[in-house]
Structure 1
Amino acid sequence: MHPQSTPAFDSLMNMNINPFTVPVPVPTSPPLDAQCPVSAFLPIIDLKKRGSRRIWTHALEKLLFSPHEIATLGSPHRRTIYLASLEAHIDSLHSQLLALGFYPIPVQDLHPYKGLNCKTAKGMVAGLQHDFVQVRTQLLEIERALENARCVASARENHHEILGSRKFSLDSSMPFALS
């Protein structure tokens, strides 16, 4: 099968789904406390030691391949087809960018990477993607902690307003002043 004619990858691209998005685990941190430092809200993902190798994620497999292809093709073969389709699509995007005169970085900046082994390049990209997921998870944790802090501050402010209004309402409801 020719990589550029893979219908599975074409259907993925038509659905505007990014095959590199990784679902971020929902953190289960304790509620915000005044004594809790920000470092307590760093990602849970760091707490679990993972092996150095991870299996290929099958999350988008049903979107890429038909049920018949999933049943008949082995996982390594499907992975090869997917990677070949993805590489062909990236090559076509690069050629379109060059034809339009746009390119993300100048070509002379690519010379240090000339002759780079394919597996090494894939490893570098995987490392960058892993770093991105960790930073995104940390950002979500910090945003969640900030939102919790805002809720706590709002609750305290409302509590003081309620106490303040009760104090004045109790004073004004007394029929006579004690002196």
Structure 2
Amino acid sequence: MKKTLLGLAVFSLFVVGAAQAVNSANDGTATLAVSGTVTSSQSICAVSLGQSTVILNGDISNMEAQGDDATPPTTIDLSITGDDQCTTLVKQGKMVYKFQGTADGIHANVLANAATGADAASGVGIGLYNMAGKVIALNQNTLAASETGTQFRMGLVKLDYQTPVAGKVQGALTVQIERL
């Protein structure tokens, strides 16, 4: 008898529980957005710049055309700092520098002049070059990192399809590292 009552009580609980699980037309739902990152045990490497500010001056009559190879005199030193894993990746040729910034509106391969106002130069951008004078296209090309340090060149250039006008030039360049 006790077993029968116990069985009836357990059955009643299941029936009541099932009745409680029914959705009502008044019930609402909610959505949870989940995001995150899965990482491996990679070490943290950082770019070190030889200088954080560069002053570029140029004469419109002597400025290189956008996209032409050149060897402007301004050089910037780059290096990668970090632990032994960073050093090993650089030695293996598995680290490169990428140059990011606001590109010009024509070919999008040089840093745009961000100076504004009546005294801002127009028709002029900031070109990036490797040490051999080959163009480094902004937001596209990379430059191999070297364990002894890496350098690149910067210079003012005349933008294609625009008439250069003398004035102030400003730009912001981000140098990041990429693992290959």
Structure 2 length as normaliser, TM-score? 0.23
Indicate the structure with greater helix content: 1
Larger radius of gyration: 2
Indicate the structure with greater strand content: 2
Structure 1 length as normaliser, TM-score? 0.23
